[in-house]
Amino acid sequence: MNILLTGGMGYIGSHVAVVLLQAGHRVVLYDNLCNSGIGVLARLEQITGKTPVFIQADVRATKTLADVLKDHAVEAVLHFAGLKAVGESVKKPLDYYANNVEGTVSLLEAMLDAGTRTLIFSGSATVYGDPHYLPLDEAHPLSATNPYGRSKLHIEEMLRDLSVADPLWRVVCLRYFNPAGAHESGLIGERPMGVPNNLMPYIARVAAGELKELSVFGNDYPTPDGTGVRDYIHVMDLAEGHAAALAWLVRHPGWHAINLGTGQGYSVLDMVAAFTKASSRAVPYRIAPRRAGDVAACYADPGKALRELGWQARRGLLEMCGSAWKFQNLGA
Ligand code: NAD
Ligand code: UDP
């Protein structure tokens, strides 16, 4: 298939590009590089031996996007482009609505113009808000606690409305839990600009000696060791989930939401221990106050993905930490 990835030079998009290129698809990466670098392109070529088309442009440039969709006879779009830092979204809400919501409206208009109506959207488990029960299945009530989460929720609702209005659309919102790790080559991975907000890239930089210590945000949660529990999923498992969803979508018109998680929760201290083992480096930490807006525990019921897509995560914590460590030393 001819597939366009908005935000395809970013952390998740680049790993999905590897899986799609290796499966023989033709891939167009459409990215404004606001949170990624051009170097990813050469890394993708090195890993796959194939050269994806790259277009540097913003998803809000509707005409440009429509032209690219037409020029490359794009049959399906995977929409990763967007801003994703929760704290920043509280300080700059308009940036989040402009990039994420307005960006998606622009993409949908361009797709309509080009006659492409197959879309996979990068959703997030953040749309479940504070869990009422665990594990989280797709029927769990939705809510948002910050502008980033609201933008994700709003986009999901917009996509559902569109699918009701026009039954030719095929849309799946993949609700990611906590993506972690890197491609096994260590050539691509997650390298946030500035000091990382997320746990895994922060730990990697502490292990490398670039940051002094990890602040563990709270050890008085009602969890086995008191620290926050999350469902960490290897980014390559996540990438394979996209390929499975794409194949499935061809046979399933309408709007769908599917969790991509492992079903297994690990605490912050579990992650520190796993990274220490994988890297053979010390990860010094101190207990700090809870971070505002954090929930105690969040993990998926991954049953729908298995039933519908025939997909489940295969890689464990050591592979996540080992590949993240390799990327820290080789690729970052
Ligand atoms: P990322 O920042 O690494 O990748 C996003 C890419 O989109 C970047 O390359 C950036 O340059 C590009 N981009 C941003 N705004 C754009 C615009 N207006 N026009 C064109 N390109 C633009 O982030 P990621 O971790 O790869 O996340 C991808 C998607 O998955 C995002 O939508 C994010 O909200 C979602 N998601 C991520 C996580 C996570 O923990 N990484 C969890 C749940 C959901
Ligand atoms: N966390 C932490 N220290 C950090 C970053 C994160 O203790 O420097 C904890 C956070 O409180 C949560 C878990 O690690 O319990 C995962 O946080 P992250 O920001 O990676 O993902 P979230 O689930 O919040 O989106």
**Overall size of the chain counted in residues:** 332
Task: Convert the pLDDT of each residue in 302-319 to its tens digit.
Answer: 999 999 999 999 999 999
CATH code for the domain in which residue 86 is found: 3.40.50.720
Residue 192: helix, strand or coil by DSSP? coil
Residue 100: which domain range? 2-182+232-262
Q: Tell me, letter by letter, the H, E, C secondary structure of 235-265.
A: HHHHHHHHHHHHHHHCCCCEEEEEEECCCCC
Query: What pLDDT is stored for residue 245 in this prediction?
Result: 98
Which band of pLDDT confidence, cut at 50, 70 and 90, is reported for residue 330? confident
Residue 190 lies in a domain: no
Task: Convert the pLDDT of each residue in 73-82 to its tens digit.
Answer: 999 999 999 9
Residue 317 lies in a domain: no
Strand partners, 28: 4, 53
* DSSP output for 306-327: IIII-------HHHHHHHHHHH
Cβ(178) – ligand 2 distance below 6 Å? yes
Residue 220 lies in a domain: no
Residue 243 lies in a domain: yes
**36 Cα nearest atom in ligand 1:** 9
Residue 277 lies in a domain: no
Report the pLDDT averaged over residues 11-33.
98
Residue 222 lies in a domain: no
- Say yes or no to pLDDT of 293 above 90: no
Query: What pLDDT is stored for residue 191 in this prediction?
Result: 84
Residue 206 lies in a domain: no
- Residue in 148, 202, 221, 266 annotated catalytic: 148
Report the pLDDT averaged over residues 84-102.
94
Number of domains in the chain: 1
Cα 98 to Cα 154: distance, rounded to the nearest angstrom:
12
Report the pLDDT averaged over residues 127-154.
96
- Say yes or no to pLDDT of 331 above 80: no
Backbone φ and ψ of 4, nearest 5°: -105, 135
Q: Please report how the helices 268-279 and 317-330 are oriented relative to each other, as an axis angle in degrees rounded to 10.
A: 60
Residue 139 lies in a domain: yes
- Say yes or no to pLDDT of 332 above 70: no
Cα 269 to Cα 217: distance, rounded to the nearest angstrom:
11
Task: Convert the pLDDT of each residue in 182-203 to its tens digit.
Answer: 999 999 999 888 889 899 999 9
Query: What pLDDT is stored for residue 194 in this prediction?
Result: 84
**Ligand 2 geometric centre to CA of 87 (Å):** 12
Report the pLDDT averaged over residues 1-29.
98
- Say yes or no to pLDDT of 87 above 90: no
Q: State yes or no: is 232 an active-site residue.
A: no
Give yes or no for a contact between 100 and 140, defined as CB atoms under 8 angstroms apart.
no
Residue with CA at minimum distance from ligand 1 atom 44: 124
